[in-house]
Chain A
Amino acid sequence: MKCGVIVFPGSNCDLDAYYLVRDVLREPVSYIWHEERSVDGYDALILPGGFSYGDYLRSGAIARFAPVMGAVEQFARAGGLVLGICNGFQVLTEAGLLPGALYRNAHLQFRCRQTYIRVENNGLPFTRAARAGQVLRVPIAHGDGNYFAGTALLEELRARRQVVFRYVDETGERCAAANPNGSLDDIAGVCNAAGNVLGMMPHPERAGEALLGSEDGLVIFRSMLDYFKALGGVRR
């Protein structure tokens, strides 16, 4: 499964994602500079965390017009796997590839800490290796992770099972203290209607080895690999 990690000016988790794919998952991976106009030859794309274009105006607002994003959009519309982590999630919502929006944390503070997230839909290419309701220990580091969707959209997301992860406590229960940013409905990650684009604020690529405090994030990458192999491993 050849992964491409999109690099915007200001991305700063690109190396973490690259390392996880190459050294932990042991799959081929390359960086894709934001000025590229093609993503041909890749099987999966990762939009990493960071502060693309300084997060000026709104997080992800300028990055979504980067030259590479046209190709990312085509790749996504054709069913390719696209994973947006943190700033990558923000870019994908701004691009309209994922529903809703992410804005200022309700308490106005940048939060860098471990969270627990519950797998709400394990039928996706990104979660098929996880158990239903599995609780993952995955860290966050963001100031603009407060997820919002209007009432009608939220209903739609629930009905279509597009809420992929929710913040919970260690035991898997939802509670105010477990929600680190004020996200509506404790939403930590959502997918598109087709299920091939996932955005999440927590950083699974920082939870890929016991040495880092958790290996729980790996299940997302293993799911992607599993899905890819189930397709016959044919490069797109």
Chain B
Amino acid sequence: MRWKAKIEVTLKKEVLDPQGAAVEGALQVLNYRNVRQVRVGKYMELLLEAPAREEAARQVEEMCRRLLTNPVIEDFSYTLLGETP
């Protein structure tokens, strides 16, 4: 079975986000004075073959820990969608 994983990577709360701060500054300049705490992250998606959801989830989590994120500074979350061929 084929699965689509949608993965979001964010900087950990305690890590300052210079990109987010720059974007927040730009939004303020555009007069969105009500905006706070802008954080910039990454979005990734991939397709994988796996017989069951559990196996797909196990692999996605492993990929996130080993390569897709740096656990020292980043957190991740993901969703898995079963694809009908």
A interface residue numbers (CB < 8 A to B): 57-58, 61-62, 65, 93-94, 100-101, 103-108, 146, 148-151, 182
CB distance from A141 to the nearest CB of B (A): 18
Query: When each residue 41-79 of chain B gets 1 if its CB lies under 8 Å from chain A and 0 otherwise, what string results?
Result: 000000000000000000000000001101011000000
Q: Are B67 and A108 in contact (CB under 8 A)?
A: no
> How far apart sit A148 and B16, CA to CA, in the bound complex (Å)?
9
Cβ 8 A contact of B72, one of A62, A101, A108: A101
**Does residue B22 face the partner (Cβ distance < 8 Å to A)?**
yes
> How far apart sit A31 and B18, CA to CA, in the bound complex (Å)?
36
> How far apart sit A65 and B19, CA to CA, in the bound complex (Å)?
27
Q: Which residues of B contact A61 (CB under 8 A)?
A: 67, 70
Q: Are B70 and A108 in contact (CB under 8 A)?
A: no
Given A148-B73, A150-B14, answer yes or no on A104-B68 (Cβ-Cβ < 8 Å).
no
B interface residue numbers (CB < 8 A to A): 11, 14-16, 18-19, 22, 67-68, 70, 72-73
Residue of A nearest to B73 (CB): A101
Q: List 9 A-B contacts (CB under 8 A).
A: A57-B68, A65-B67, A101-B73, A105-B18, A108-B22, A146-B18, A148-B73, A149-B72, A150-B72
Q: Are B72 and A100 in contact (CB under 8 A)?
A: yes
> How far apart sit A231 and B62, CA to CA, in the bound complex (Å)?
41
Q: Are A104 and B19 in contact (CB under 8 A)?
A: yes
Q: Which residues of B contact A104 (CB under 8 A)?
A: 18-19
> How far apart sit A34 and B11, CA to CA, in the bound complex (Å)?
30
CB distance from B23 to the nearest CB of A (A): 10
CB distance from B34 to the nearest CB of A (A): 24
Q: Which of B15, B19, B22, B68 has the most CB of A within 10 A?
A: B15
Q: Are B67 and A148 in contact (CB under 8 A)?
A: no
CB distance from B2 to the nearest CB of A (A): 24
